[in-house]
Amino acid sequence: MVCARSPRSMAGGESNMGEIETEPIRPKVTDAKGILKQNREFLDFFWDIAKPEQEIRLQAIENLVQYLKNSEKEDELRYTLKRLVEGLAATRETARPGFSLALAQVLQVFEDVPLQSVLDQIKEKHDPQKVKKKLVRNAAFGNFFGVLSLSQSGRLTKEPRVVLESVQLLQSLAQFREHLKDLPRKTMVDILSETPEAVFEEVLLGALKSDLSSAFSTPEQLHLLLVAIQRFPGVLKPKKLKNLLGASSVVTADNIPKLVEVLKTAAKSVKKDRTMPPVGLDLLKVALKENSFDLFWKEAVINGLLKDQLGPSSYMCYRLLGSALPLLSFSQLKCVLGGEVMKHYGEHVVTAQLPDRFKFAPEMESYVDSFLEGCPDPEKQFAVMVAFSSLTNQGYPVVPSYWKVVRHLQLPVLLRYVDWLKDMFSNPQLDTCMDFSTKRQQQNQEKGDRTQHCVFRLRKWIVPRLISIVDNPLVKKEEDLVMDIARFIFFHAFFKVVKSNPVIPETESSLAVPLDEQTRSVIANSFFGLLQHLNHLPLMGDSPEVAALNERHVQGVTADGTLWIFCIVQYASVLLSQSKHVQAARPFSKEQREAWDRMLQSVEALHKKAKKSQNMETAAFQQLFLLVGIHLFKTPEESVELINDLQNCLENAQEKKSKKKKATASSEESEEPQWVEVMVEILLTLLSQPSRLMRQVSKTVFGRMCPHVTQRALQIILDVLDPEKDEEESGVVVTDQKDSRKQKKEKKPADNEEEEGEGSDSSEEDSDSSDDEEGGGGEEDEDDEEKEKVNENFRLELMKVLQGKNALDMEGAESDEEELDDDTMMELDQNISALFSEQKKRIQAKKDEKENMRKEKVLVRDFKIKVLDLIEVFLSKQAESPLVFGIIEPLLGIIEGSMGSESSQQEQDFLRKTADIFRNQLCKTKRYCRNVSDRKDELHELMERLLTRAQKQADSSVSLYYFSAALYLVRVLKGNASDTPAATPAGKSKKQKKVEAETSPTDQSMCVGSLDKERVAALFQAALTDFMTRRKSALSGAMFIDLFIRFPILCVQLLESAVRYITEGVRQHQQGQACALVQKALQMREVRQSMTDTEWTELIGRAVGQVTECLKTVTGFKVKVDQEKVIQCLELTRFLIRTAQQQKLAVSVTELGPVLESLSQLEGFRKSGHVDDTYWNVMKLLGFSKPKKEKVKKPAAEEQQTAPKKKKGFLPETKKRKNRKKVLVEEGKPSEPGQGADWEGKQGKNNKNKNKRKQAEAGMGERNWPAKKGKFQSGNKPKNKKGKQQRGGVE
């Protein structure tokens, strides 16, 4: 029994020996087998196996097996088996699998250990008939995990007798189903799957006869039979099955009702797991094997499970459908995919779109995905894709248009599937689709042409499905397929078939149902989405050249380098030339056709030019011409003007490049806009349209023309972002109307605007709520005033109507007049009704106007966010251009105007993007303008304005942006020493080079460049004075610390002022910040090298004096600001003292001692540990030592009362002994046994739960608790207690 004790208590035997010796009543522990002297490492394996962490368990099992291999001791192996068998019934659930796996590994490695002995040991140790009632559950788990370990060892099938006894043991565990669920049956199935046929026939068949005969009772028994039929077909022949089941096969017409009930039970059992029960899949396989699949599917699934109309049964039907796909033949596949289960699944997909509904579609997608991935038969692949694409709800397929499973289609199947989609678009065969309508759709269905509606929904799905094939990078496709899809969508978006022509394949299939304008509009929008995908499409192919180009992220071109959009423009040109066979849906006018021809000529000229010499400017013009040209089919009026402007820009750019300038050209250029300015306006027009393609192309083109951007062109962009000009003008129209090329336009009615986002269709409630968000409190007050005025006017008009018919008594008039007649009342009702109708119209007109303003504001803000892209591109491409300086103030104006106001999410995004561009693309960039000598006065004035604005801000975060801009200008003006290299001799010695390398950083940081040091120092001096002397300054100490670190040349100029403000700061915060600034400045090497020894010594002395005077003003530590100030002063003091001592400077610090000593006597000094630690760090430098706290020894009686609890060694929490109750005895009076027992009973009720105490005592029987209890009650209570207290005190 000693071996059964915890290994950690055994390993800690030496530490507990003292306690054992002081307890003579406890029996002496014997170690006959020497287990207590085992290696601590060996005993720890069993503790690690029981831990909940899987990695620790696995590592412990591996280490245990390796240890037993190396040890080769029989006693350790026997002890291991005993411990592992005992652990199978561990109380902790996480420990049981660990011991089971460990036992399996040990039995697998040590094959000389007989399984029969281990099984007998398991039966004996975990016999449910012999254990206590509360341990029956653990015993059942012990038996189960024991058989599981035998099965996992891989040796079970080699010993038939053990197999039989294991199966019988598992059968006996059926009575504990409430604890074990179906785990024993699953284990029996696993054993059967590994048992040889001979062993099954000779040994197991007889034992399992009762389970196999009652197979239709439970899912577990049926699963056992199905596994046996598949595993041992030679044993369970039809004749044998007839003896067991009464039928020669499982799936028969008589057995169908029983099978349905079993499947329903199995479906309910996996309701929470949402998985396919194994019995269902095996039954499906057996039905296929018995050639009774049709009977099973029709009677058991469709007429059985599906008609149950319960969730678990329906989901099991869907899982059977998905699992059957790889098992069925082609004819069976078509039968299943066209049946009621498929239709029922489609209804589920449509109804499950509501929130909080379980959605089976992702699981079905995984079934189809795995089938297509592993199916080599192209016919089956095509049949499955067509079947799911033909499952429609009023014409619209239930599968998404972007379906990931398409990536597994073989290329011939993909081509065939695309042809099928195109054919369904041209000739919608709704009778071949499995169409359905939900109950609600049937109730709400309006009378009309339902076929037209279904065709529209089907075509609306087919076009995105074709585009998804192009967009999905995982789909294996060729360029011909991509071009075929693009041509098909473009043709049906903008052209009609007049006559078939073999040159144009799209004309060979005429439309059975003509396209209406709504469908063409949807297809046209989808086509421009396809253009966006083509613009980012990587090269296709497996050649090394294609792989190399893809590594360089070449996109939007074919393998020969032709733009995809150029291929489409060429196809459009062919269509326009075949007027006898095709006709444009919106025919071009003469002007539009001329613009198209000019566009083609320009593109062709640019294409030839690009072949000779690659030029960024040429590529930009070519891409713009193609994009605007293809938009002629969507917005012809705008595109004509844009093509004309592009043509002029191209001509001007070519003239400028050819350098054919005359004297009169300069005057003309001053009056007429340059080509770059016109190009910028064109790009702004493209950005105003709701198209991602336009936005992307505009960014690309602007990036290519950045080197040619002028000040006027950049100002056009900045004017769009200027909030002041936005307020002055009536608004900015950013829709795709005719005059949208100009930035500032007149307002238009909302009825004529093209909606750009989904938010345009929002309801009145949404618009009202958004108005409240964006408008703020001022607009609400104005609305209230307007309502009051409207209500007053309406009341007066109503009074006039009533008084006109004498329906309202006047003041002072007699009320005894006759009532109005019927005609007068009717006329009065009509007048009142007309009045209310007009009032309602006025209210609605105001709401519409308010909604139009809100929509316009959203469009304008969205347009400005897009325009910021151009600024970002310019800063990244032309960071060294002097035009960058003109962007600083406009960006700061946007930040300042948007920071303080309450704004919508869109406004916050605009502000966030502006701040990100300013901070990362401007201030933190490593590239900047190098040559600023000709504009240094301008930059100094700009710096002065920025610092002035920084001081006037109310928000410190806005002030930080202005201050950062000023630091950026300092860096630009100062430049680097490497910017203006001087001539140096060619030959230099290594010593000279080393000296230059050491001094170059300092020289570089102290160089002036174009910086007016005195002027800039005066500007920052004024800013520092503002920070130190104004109570509510927006500046902060971190700004000046950043200034000191980055520009030591200015740090030297401001250092004296910083030292002065240590005592002259307006508040404690400023004084503390002054200390931080001085400390940071004195730590810089450049500052020290800029002074002589005398100047340095005097500066240190003045700083010491200032800090001393500052510390004298401290009167307490009541608030946090006082503590922060003292900490900064002490930090500076420590640096000054250390510097003076290390450099041996003639600086007196004698006055600091008394000041610091008096500081520690102030109230609240010891509240902050940081203050105390910093204080004594300084005092140590002055020769003072921190006094040690004397420990006051407590009286003996108090020490006994507060004695710490004795530690229990290395035992885990679950193995620790429970604290025994201690009887308090009055000093000098021996306690009587009766009184002690009575006190113990009362104290037990107050402090501990009796039930827990009894359980603990019962569980610790092996630790001699009864003997301890007898000693506790023997009458030597004071002595025993005193001994325990002494031991606790020693520990």
Q: What is the pLDDT of residues 93-108, one digit of tens each?
A: 888 888 889 988 888 8
Check residues 88 and 1197 and name the one with the higher pLDDT. 88
Res 1278 pLDDT > 90: no
Q: Which pLDDT score is estimated for 731?
A: 41
Q: Which pLDDT score is estimated for 204?
A: 77
Residue with tokens 């025994």: 1220
Q: Is residue 406 helix, strand or coil?
A: helix
Place 841 in a pLDDT band, splitting at 50, 70 and 90: confident
User: Is residue 714 a contact partner of residue 886, using CB atoms and an 8 Å limit?
Assistant: yes
DSSP 201: I
Q: What is the mean pLDDT of residues 1065-1086?
A: 89
Q: What is the mean pLDDT of residues 533-559?
A: 82
d(CA 494, CA 1235): 106
1197 phi and psi angles, rounded to 5 deg: -65, -40
Q: Which of 18-22, 337-341, 954-958, 1169-1173 has the lowest mean pLDDT?
A: 18-22
Among 243, 333, 245, smallest CA distance to 288 is for: 333
Res 822 pLDDT > 80: no
d(CA 1265, CA 1257): 7
Residue with tokens 């254990």: 131
What tens digit of pLDDT does each residue of 1127-1151 get? Answer: 889 899 889 998 888 888 888 888 8
Q: Which pLDDT score is estimated for 487?
A: 93
Place 388 in a pLDDT band, splitting at 50, 70 and 90: very high
Q: What tokens were used for 859?
A: 């469009």
What tens digit of pLDDT does each residue of 893-915 get? Answer: 888 888 766 667 888 888 888 88
Q: Which pLDDT score is estimated for 68?
A: 85
What tens digit of pLDDT does each residue of 229-279 get? Answer: 888 888 888 888 888 887 888 888 888 899 999 899 888 888 777 888 888
Res 164 pLDDT > 90: no
DSSP 405: G
Q: What tokens were used for 359?
A: 């959605």
User: Is residue 1220 a contact partner of residue 1268, using CB atoms and an 8 Å limit?
Assistant: yes
Q: What is the mean pLDDT of residues 835-847?
A: 82
Q: Which pLDDT score is estimated for 389?
A: 93
Check residues 741 and 817 and name the one with the higher pLDDT. 817
Place 658 in a pLDDT band, splitting at 50, 70 and 90: low
d(CA 450, CA 431): 13
d(CA 829, CA 835): 10
Res 1056 pLDDT > 70: yes
Q: What tokens were used for 1207?
A: 């530690």
% of the chain with per-residue pLDDT over 90: 14
d(CA 180, CA 201): 28
DSSP letters along 818-851, please? PPP-HHHHHHHHHHHHHHHHHHHHHHHHHHHHHH
What tens digit of pLDDT does each residue of 491-524 get? Answer: 999 998 888 888 888 888 888 888 888 889 999 9
Place 372 in a pLDDT band, splitting at 50, 70 and 90: very high
d(CA 36, CA 1125): 64
What tens digit of pLDDT does each residue of 1190-1212 get? Answer: 655 555 555 455 555 555 455 55
Predicted structure pTM score: 0.69
Res 1257 pLDDT > 60: no
Res 76 pLDDT > 80: yes
Cα angle 358, 363, 364; round to 5: 110
What tens digit of pLDDT does each residue of 1173-1193 get? Answer: 888 888 888 888 877 766 555
d(CA 61, CA 84): 11
How much helix, strand and coil, in percent to the nearest 5, is found in the chain?
70, 0, 30
Q: Which pLDDT score is estimated for 746?
A: 37
Q: What is the mean pLDDT of residues 694-700?
A: 84
Res 57 pLDDT > 60: yes
Check residues 1262 and 495 and name the one with the higher pLDDT. 495
Res 570 pLDDT > 80: yes
Res 669 pLDDT > 80: no
Q: Which of 441-455, 456-470, 815-829, 1230-1244 has the lowest mean pLDDT?
A: 1230-1244
Res 466 pLDDT > 90: yes
Q: Is residue 397 helix, strand or coil?
A: strand
Q: Which pLDDT score is estimated for 447?
A: 55
Place 1024 in a pLDDT band, splitting at 50, 70 and 90: very high
Q: What tokens were used for 453?
A: 């509606």
What tens digit of pLDDT does each residue of 310-323 get? Answer: 888 889 899 999 99
Among 745, 686, 675, smallest CA distance to 713 is for: 675
Residue with tokens 């990536």: 407
% of the chain with per-residue pLDDT over 70: 77
Top-ranked range on mean pLDDT: pick from 33-37, 159-163, 490-494, 767-771: 490-494
Q: What tokens were used for 759?
A: 């938010």
Place 1008 in a pLDDT band, splitting at 50, 70 and 90: low
Average pLDDT of every residue of the chain: 77
Q: Which pLDDT score is estimated for 414?
A: 94
Res 815 pLDDT > 60: no
Among 675, 674, 700, smallest CA distance to 869 is for: 700
Place 673 in a pLDDT band, splitting at 50, 70 and 90: low
Check residues 1276 and 839 and name the one with the higher pLDDT. 839
Place 778 in a pLDDT band, splitting at 50, 70 and 90: very low
Q: What is the mean pLDDT of residues 905-929?
A: 86
Q: What tokens were used for 585?
A: 């849906």
Res 541 pLDDT > 60: yes
* 291 burial via Cβ count (<10 Å: 0-12, 13-18, 19+): exposed
Q: Which pLDDT score is estimated for 417?
A: 94
Q: Which residues pair with 363 in a beta bridge?
A: none
User: Which element (helix H / strand E) includes 434?
Assistant: strand 434-436
Q: What is the mean pLDDT of residues 1054-1068?
A: 88
Pairing of strands 391-393, 434-436: parallel
Q: Which of 599-603, 809-813, 1238-1242 has the lowest mean pLDDT?
A: 1238-1242
